Structure 1
Amino acid sequence: MSKLRILVPVKRVIDYAVKPRVNKAQTAVEKNNVKHSMNPFDELSIEEAVRLREAKKPVEDILAFSAGPAKCQDTLRTAMAMGCDRALHVVEEKQELEPLGVAKLLQKVVEDEKRNLVILGKQSIDDDANQTGQMLAGLLNWPQATQASKVEIDESDNVTVTREVDGGVETLRAKLPMIITTDLRLNEPRYASLPNIMKAKKKPLEKKSLKDYGLDVENRLKTVKVQEPPPRQGGGKVEDVDGMIAKLKELGAL
């Protein structure tokens, strides 16, 4: 069985328990003075990579990666406290990268770091794009299995992935190298213990910039306006079935 050199991309997002608010200019979601944390789907990816090592698979190295402002380093330290061996941070303060730009960066990291397995969250909870893993697989021309709920790797480098689909469960099999995106039923991420948090401070965290990779990651999309959805209207009561039918006809539902 080949040694596994795993890449786990992670993203710093507004904490899932925070209700996002639109900024006054209606150009984006307000991020200042708002609690941030690691994207929950990325926690699943880290957990799965660590579990492969604990299952005695030949995991040589687990590399956590993030691109974004300096505060992303806190997210990367958390990733290392959860079990990643080292981290790579592409510092970018001016723009928030779109999925294609992130996929291009990940392609370079995979090639430079000689990765043969990428495990990443199926989407981030801020933009819900669900695109980066698929784009990365296309750029690398690697097989992919999205929305994984179970991952198994055998001695012949065959990766078997179970995923939930609308009609039930689908099982995919491919050989390494491979891209896997994670879904909520895959595992239960562990909490970083205090000793591991202290150890993570000594693990290597390398910083780079977009210029180091020489890529065109200019955003292709422009947000014209951001608005909160209108408040839901209260329901009404009817006396009987005839009243319900009359109300539905009034609303144009029948």
Structure 2
Amino acid sequence: MRIVVCVKYVPDATGDRRFADDTTTDREAVDGLLSELDEYGVEQALKLAEAHGDAEVTVLTVGPDDAKDALRKALSMGADKAVHVNDEDIHGTDVIGTSAIISKALEKTGYDLVVCGMASTDGTMGVLPALLAERLGLPQVTLLSEVSLEGNTVKGRRDGDAATEQLEAELPAVISVTDQSGEARYPSFKGIMAAKKKPVQEYDLDDLGVEADEVGLTGAWTAVETITARPARTAGTVVKDEGEGGKQLAAFLAEQKFI
């Protein structure tokens, strides 16, 4: 059983995230890390592998040199090996181009089950699993809060606002899991040390047979046209209650058309 988890190296959401001069995310100005939502994907892949008994978990990412940090985190959690697609021409690639790159990388690695998080914490689009399934010609079972393998079938539960669905698909398949699927494990010291010796296969666009003009800023289907910095916070209005506080508050709310 070959389980491949797609993960992403993203800017820390607690940092001061900005755009670079070319209107792409400035990844040099803030520390990066493994997308928190992808940690749930790694966790569920590891649980499936443990339950199956004869499974190998590979983590796959597309990104710059520093994206190895995301792979090492996943490896320290327990994944067996990693694949890193790194090429200067990938800079500025949108989700359409990313899906093309990952689908080619998956064809290289081989797979029985492809696992994704529900979305990345930077783009938050949540459409990559569907795009991968379409490109690979596979069934997709997405937004699962519970997942299991039974023979050659992947099964899962999707919780909606009004109903809960029980879904399944024959392998090979693509799935995505939500942040309700189970808390991701913390890497142990032993796992951190072991991760340093686990193999990381590197590919560039030539290795995958992807043309440079199909990806990057030139091949992107979406682009940021203009950027406006968020205005600085201003001091609020202070109402001192000296017997007329209620009236002043009501007048303020009425002036702002809140009431």
User: How high is the TM-score relative to the length of structure 1?
Assistant: 0.85
CA RMSD of aligned residues (A): 2.6
- State whether structure 2 residue 246 is matched by structure 1 residue 239: yes
CA–CA distance in 2 between the matches of 1:96 and 1:21?
Answer: 15
CA–CA distance in 2 between the matches of 1:235 and 1:163?
Answer: 45
- State whether structure 2 residue 124 is matched by structure 1 residue 117: no
CA–CA distance in 2 between the matches of 1:206 and 1:158?
Answer: 29
Distance 1:54 1:247, change over 3 A: same
CA–CA distance in 1 between the matches of 2:176 and 2:33?
Answer: 19
TM-superposed CA distance for 1:65, in Å, is 0.8
Partner of 1:12: 9
The 5-angstrom pairing of residues 26-37 of structure 1 reads 27-37=23-33
Superposed CA deviations along residues 182-239 of structure 1, whole A, max 9, x for unmatched, are 2111111111112211111111111110111122332222221223444677478773
CA–CA distance in 2 between the matches of 1:209 and 1:22?
Answer: 25
Partner of 1:170: 165
Distance 1:22 1:7, change over 3 A: same
Contact 1:22–1:228 (CA under 8 A) maintained in structure 2: no
Q: Per residue, is there more helix in 1 or in 2?
A: 2
Which of these residues, 140, 146, 160, is aligned with residue 144 of structure 1?
140
Which of these residues, 31, 35, 39, is aligned with residue 39 of structure 1?
35
Distance 1:89 1:54, change over 3 A: same
CA–CA distance in 2 between the matches of 1:103 and 1:172?
Answer: 24
- State whether structure 2 residue 191 is matched by structure 1 residue 196: yes
Superposed CA deviations along residues 19-60 of structure 1, whole A, max 9, x for unmatched, are 42455x5834443242111001111111111111222x1443
Contact 1:6–1:59 (CA under 8 A) maintained in structure 2: no
Structure 1 stretch displaced more, 62-71 or 87-96: 87-96
Contact 2:146–2:157 (CA under 8 A) maintained in structure 1: yes
Structure 1 stretch displaced more, 167-176 or 33-42: 167-176
Contact 1:10–1:42 (CA under 8 A) maintained in structure 2: yes
TM-superposed CA distance for 1:137, in Å, is 0.9
TM-superposed CA distance for 1:113, in Å, is 2.4
Contact 1:28–1:226 (CA under 8 A) maintained in structure 2: no
- Number of aligned residues: 246
CA–CA distance in 2 between the matches of 1:158 and 1:81?
Answer: 28
Q: Give the match's secondary structure for 1:84.
A: coil
- State whether structure 2 residue 214 is matched by structure 1 residue 219: no
User: How high is the TM-score relative to the length of structure 2?
Assistant: 0.84
Q: Give the match's secondary structure for 2:68.
A: helix
Superposed CA deviations along residues 94-149 of structure 1, whole A, max 9, x for unmatched, are 41321112211222233232201000112111111211111011112211122211
Which of these residues, 76, 100, 105, is aligned with residue 101 of structure 2?
105
CA–CA distance in 2 between the matches of 1:29 and 1:206?
Answer: 26
Superposed CA deviations along residues 59-83 of structure 1, whole A, max 9, x for unmatched, are 4321111111111112212211111
Distance 1:64 1:104, change over 3 A: same
Which of these residues, 51, 74, 97, is aligned with residue 79 of structure 1?
74
Gap runs ≥5 in structure 1: none
Q: Give the match's secondary structure for 1:184.
A: coil
- Aligned-residue sequence identity (percent) comes to 30
- State whether structure 2 residue 50 is matched by structure 1 residue 54: yes
Gap runs ≥5 in structure 2: 240-244
